[in-house]
């Protein structure tokens, strides 16, 4: 019987300490990855586990903390005393309820003391087994720290809370039930079912077996076994004990001896805790990894919304206008150039720095200096929609609270966007030239032909004047059939018109090109604002998600 018992306990999985530590580290990594992205209340059990496991593993691997838990009067204290072979814990008849745990330590108390400090058993409720006589036949239990818990069905809530707290800390739980109350709903639904992930650190004893007729015992044990199966605890060791009889605890003692010898209970307990935590966190990550980040469509839409908000269309229209305005000022017919220059330059009206072509002023200008029109309400809401859309496209398929985290990240720096856009526009070299060489050449040509025409005109006027005054009229030189002064005047005028006719479409074409170049540069600048203020935060959340997912997979014990 004892042999079978040992087999039953050894049947549980072996937990490799290194593997357990790897899994716990993965839970820690998970918590670091999701920090700030997921609601804290979902993470409490994982935080508790990480902290508790770290302490438990650091304290003592040589001790096995076993708790006797059960309802009032089931015989926990009697079993505690019987196992300790001492009358240490107050038994029901004298003191029906105690709100605190009592501990008995087998072996030297030193190492166990820190463990008990952590568990929270007061020094005056700690007992040591070894110093009290008979060293040898107790040596098999060396390393056992046995706890007599308060009743979990106590009328005092403080006692029940204390039981719950202690059940979270111990390595192995011995559930003590008695023939009257073994089917009690509270123990099954309230406790045993909750422990189904801790099957291999759970033991059930039917105490007060002496109160049953020998023929009845197997029937009650069968019935109890059935209930345990229904609790999700199939195969947990189930023993019958009699606390008032010395030989009535032999089996329980043997089973505890093998548990202590194995030194697996604390590891199994924590492994079960990791299982529970991982299972509860399971819905926070999906089966598939998320995409790599915001997609091209969403990004394009975001950039164009940002461009609208930044007033890029107004600036590029001004760029084209400014090019034509300036070109006309330099290449136009000299007679009307001055008049043209009186009209304002469309780009200078925007007070953008660096609009003087190649001779750029420093780009770090005060933001408020530009007069780019403020975004309209429609543009602002278009930007809001684009930000939301980019977040939804990037994180919409993620499980649980993640889509909200992605959207939150996308919007997190929206307040800084207007200033950043102003700086981006102000800092962009729009590439509108002041007086390129070809303008000046055309301008010079225009001067030349105009002067030619003027010279011709003057010559003609002079000829008429001389004739009118009856003075001798010098012979006008002839070019073919045409007198030279008329040729100069008409030719000058004609060539001037011709140069203007040829220049105009070239200027228009060059203005459009300049506008497109400015548009490209501005788009790149506002795209960078989007990258920094919207896409980077989104990517950070997605990468956290990937980390969390990976960590949880490791925590689950999967390779």
For ligand GDP, the binding residues (CB under 6 A) are 70, 72-78, 91-93, 151, 207-208, 210-211, 242-244
Looking at the Cβ atoms of 77 and 309, the one nearer to Mg ion is: 77
Choices 69-77, 122-130, 169-177, 440-448 (CB under 5 A): range interacting with Mg ion: 69-77
Which residue is associated with the tokens 């055309």?
442
Cβ–Cβ < 8 Å for 97, 154: yes
**Dist CA 354 CA 360 (whole Å):** 5
| Interface stretch with Mg ion, choices 46-54, 72-80, 224-232, 317-325 (CB under 5 A) | 72-80
Residue-wise burial string across 10-43, b where 16 or more C-beta atoms lie within 10 A, e elsewhere = eebeebeeeebeebbebbbbbbebbeebbeeeeb
Q: Look at residue 74 and give the partner it binds from ligand GDP, Mg ion, none, a contact being a CB closer than 5 to 8 Å depending on partner kind.
A: ligand GDP
Distance CA 11, CA 4 (A): 10
State which residue, 65 or 240, has the beta carbon closest to ligand GDP.
240
Question: How near is the Cβ of 13 to ligand GDP at its closest, in Å?
Answer: 31
Q: Which does 428 bind (CB under 5 to 8 A by kind): Mg ion, ligand GDP, none?
A: none
Residue with Cβ nearer ligand GDP (75 or 298): 75
* End-to-end Cα, the chain, rounded Å: 39
Count Cα atoms within 13 angstroms, Cβ side, for 325.
18
User: Residue 124 and residue 317: Cα distance in Å, rounded?
Assistant: 87
Shortest distance, CB of residue 32 to Mg ion, whole angstroms? 43
CB of 157 to Mg ion, least distance (A): 18
Binder of residue 75, out of ligand GDP, Mg ion, none (CB less than 5 to 8 A by kind): ligand GDP
544 touches Mg ion (CB under 5 A): no
CB of 216 to ligand GDP, least distance (A): 14
Query: Which among 73-81, 217-225, 265-273, 531-539 is the span making contact with Mg ion, rule CB under 5 A?
Result: 73-81
CB of 169 to ligand GDP, least distance (A): 20
Question: Binding to Mg ion (CB under 5 A): which residues in 161-220?
Answer: none
Residue 31: both structure tokens together: 């918590």
Binding mask 27-66 for Mg ion (x = CB under 5 A): ----------------------------------------
Minimum CB–partner distance for residue 93 and Mg ion (Å)? 10
CA distance 368 to 426: 10
3-state SS, one letter per residue, for 444-496? HHHHHHHHHHHHHHHHHHHHHHHHHCCCCCCCCCEECCEEHHHHHHHHHHHHH
Shortest Cβ 126–Mg ion spacing (Å): 17
CB of 139 to ligand GDP, least distance (A): 26
| Shortest Cβ 208–ligand GDP spacing (Å) | 4
Options 20-28, 71-79, 129-137, 208-216: segment touching Mg ion (CB under 5 A): 71-79
C-beta of 37 vs 76, nearer to Mg ion: 76
Alpha carbon distances (Å) from 304 to 69, 222, 310, 391, 535 = 66, 73, 10, 16, 14
Minimum CB distance to ligand GDP smaller for 150 or for 433: 150
Contact 248, 241 (CB under 8 A): yes
- 210 interacts with, out of Mg ion, ligand GDP, none, CB within 5 to 8 A per kind: ligand GDP
Among 60, 64, 77, 303, binds Mg ion (CB under 5 A): 77
Cα(130)–Cα(120) distance, integer angstroms: 22
Strands 202-206 and 126-128: unpaired
Helices (H), 311-362: 312-331, 334-341
User: What does 249 bind: Mg ion, ligand GDP, none (CB cut-off 5 to 8 Å by kind)?
Assistant: none
Q: Which CA distances in Å does 61 have to 81, 112, 124, 144, 265?
A: 25, 10, 24, 11, 10
Closest chain position to ligand GDP (CB): 92
Task: Pick the piece of the chain touching Mg ion (CB under 5 A) from 77-85, 207-215, 314-322, 483-491.
Answer: 77-85
Going by their DSSP bridges, the two strands 478-479 and 482-483 should be labelled as antiparallel
How many Å is the Cα radius of gyration of the chain? 46
Pick what 138 binds: Mg ion, ligand GDP, none; C-beta below 5 to 8 Å, kind-dependent: none
Q: Closest approach of Cβ 271 to Mg ion, in Å?
A: 30
Q: Phi, psi (5° rounding) for residue 65?
A: -95, 115
Report the interface residues with Mg ion, using CB under 5 A.
Answer: 76-77
């Amino acid at each position: 019987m004892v042999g079978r018992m040992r087999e039953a306990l050894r049947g549980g999985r072996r937990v490799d300490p290194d593997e357990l530590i790897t899994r716990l580290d993965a839970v820690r990594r998970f918590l670091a990855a999701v920090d700030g992205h997921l609601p804290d209340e979902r993470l409490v059990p994982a935080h508790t586990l990480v902290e508790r496991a770290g302490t438990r593993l650091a304290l003592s691997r040589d001790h096995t903390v076993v708790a006797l838990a059960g309802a009032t009067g089931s015989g926990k204290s009697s079993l505690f005393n019987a196992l300790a072979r001492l009358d240490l814990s107050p038994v029901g008849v004298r003191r029906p309820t105690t709100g605190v745990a009592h501990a008995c330590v087998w072996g030297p108390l030193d190492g166990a003391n820190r463990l008990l400090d952590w568990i929270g058993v007061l020094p005056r409720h700690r007992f040591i087994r070894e110093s009290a006589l008979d060293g040898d036949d107790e040596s098999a239990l060396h390393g056992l720290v046995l706890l007599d818990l308060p009743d979990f069905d106590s009328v005092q809530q403080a006692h029940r809370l204390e039981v719950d707290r202690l059940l979270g800390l111990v390595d192995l739980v011995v559930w003590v039930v008695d023939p009257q109350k073994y089917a009690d709903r509270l123990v099954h639904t309230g406790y045993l079912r909750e422990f189904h992930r801790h099957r291999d650190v759970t033991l059930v004893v039917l105490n007060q077996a002496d109160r049953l007729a020998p023929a009845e015992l197997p029937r009650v044990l069968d019935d109890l076994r059935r209930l345990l199966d229904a609790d999700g605890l199939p195969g947990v060791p189930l023993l019958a004990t009699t606390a008032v009889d010395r030989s009535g605890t032999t089996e329980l003692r043997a089973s505890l001896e093998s548990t202590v010898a194995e030194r697996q209970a604390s590891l199994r307990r924590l492994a079960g805790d990791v299982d529970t935590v991982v299972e509860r966190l399971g819905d926070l990550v999906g089966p598939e990894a998320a995409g790599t980040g915001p997609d091209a469509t969403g990004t394009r839409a975001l950039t164009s919304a940002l461009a609208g908000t930044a007033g890029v269309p107004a600036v590029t229209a001004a760029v084209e206008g400014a090019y034509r305005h300036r070109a006309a000022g330099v290449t136009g017919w000299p007679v009307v150039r001055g008049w043209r220059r009186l009209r304002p330059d469309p780009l200078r009206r925007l007070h953008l720095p660096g609009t003087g072509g190649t001779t750029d002023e420093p780009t770090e200008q005060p933001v408020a200096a530009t007069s780019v029109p403020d975004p309209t309400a429609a543009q602002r809401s278009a930007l809001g929609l684009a930000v939301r859309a980019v977040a939804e496209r990037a994180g919409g398929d993620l499980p649980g609270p993640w889509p909200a985290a992605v959207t939150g990240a996308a919007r997190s720096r929206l307040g800084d966007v207007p200033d950043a856009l102003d700086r981006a526009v102000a800092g962009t070299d729009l590439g509108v030239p002041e007086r390129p060489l070809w303008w000046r050449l055309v301008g010079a040509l225009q001067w030349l032909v105009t002067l030619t025409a003027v010279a011709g005109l003057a010559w003609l006027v002079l000829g008429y004047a001389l004739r009118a005054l009856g003075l001798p009229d010098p012979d006008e030189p002839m070019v073919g059939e045409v007198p030279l002064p008329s040729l100069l005047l008409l030719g000058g005028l004609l060539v001037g018109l011709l140069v203007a006719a040829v220049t105009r479409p070239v200027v228009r074409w060059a203005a459009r090109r300049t506008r497109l170049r400015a548009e490209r540069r501005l788009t790149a600048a506002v795209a960078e604002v989007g990258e920094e203020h919207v896409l980077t935060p989104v990517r950070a959340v997605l990468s956290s998600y990937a980390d969390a997912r990976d960590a949880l997979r490791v925590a689950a014990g999967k390779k």
